Amino acid sequence: MERIHLHDKTFRICIPHSDIQKSIEVLAAKMNKDFEGKEKPLFVSVLNGSFMFTSDLLKNLTFQCELSFIKVSSYAGTSSTGEIKEIMGLTSEVKGRSVIIVEDIVDTGATIVELHKMLMDKGAGEVNVCTLLLKPEAYKKDVKIKYVAMEIPNDFIVGYGLDYDELGRQYKDIYVLDTSGE
């Protein structure tokens, strides 16, 4: 089985690229249905982790939309620190607009709850959340995660944009922490 080594840890493949693409196509079809003929939404992609997902998702959308990026950080190592910092601010006007947050993964939800609040405070008309991955066992917050491509167990993963202390983002498959050798 294919393994990768990042810093002090080993990861094994768990979601191949083809499965990721299929789940994104299904999600995009749902969004195409929901947003066709509606006011053009603004996608707010959360850097760095969402860069690959944002690219593949938007390639599958048929309705008109705008795209903006924001950079926040909450993770150190392999567990969430629970607090987020807005590092790179939004450059688009959100007042009265339909906004869709694009996340790579929703874990404890600290990031998404803060971002949702921040966008509502800036006067967004509606804020929806779209994520490639959701860890349902970890997510206990009230903000509804309307668009989810895949649900995964409470494991630490890397690849397809996701990192372990900044390494591993470039892989086209998703890998899970391999504890078999410990």
- Residues recognised as catalytic: 107
86 Cβ partners below 8 Å, 6+ apart?
Answer: 70, 71, 72, 118
User: Which CB sits closer to Mg ion, 49 or 159?
Assistant: 49
170 Cβ partners below 8 Å, 6+ apart?
Answer: none
Radius of gyration of the chain (CA): 16
Residue 69 as a binder of ligand IMP (CB under 6 A): the answer is: no
| Candidate ranges 30-38, 49-57, 83-91, 146-154; the one touching Mg ion (CB under 5 A) | 49-57
Residue 161 as a binder of Mg ion (CB under 5 A): the answer is: no
Residue 11 as a binder of ligand IMP (CB under 6 A): the answer is: no
| Positions 147 through 166 that interact with ligand IMP (CB under 6 A) | 156-158, 162
**Angle between the 17-35 and 51-59 helix axes, to the nearest 10 degrees?**
60
Residue 49 as a binder of ligand IMP (CB under 6 A): the answer is: yes
Residue 53 as a binder of ligand IMP (CB under 6 A): the answer is: no
Residue 23 as a binder of ligand IMP (CB under 6 A): the answer is: no
Residue with tokens 């929703």: 106
- My answer on whether omega of the bond before 60 falls inside 30° of 0, hence cis, is no
Return the half-sphere exposure (C-beta side, CA atoms, 13 A cut-off) of residue 111. 28
Residue 109 as a binder of ligand IMP (CB under 6 A): the answer is: yes
| Of 10, 9, 13, nearest in space to 159 by CA | 13
| Positions 55 through 114 that interact with Mg ion (CB under 5 A) | 104
Residue 111 as a binder of ligand IMP (CB under 6 A): the answer is: yes
Binding site for Mg ion (CB under 5 A): 49, 104
Binding site for ligand IMP (CB under 6 A): 46, 49, 74-75, 80, 103-112, 156-158, 162
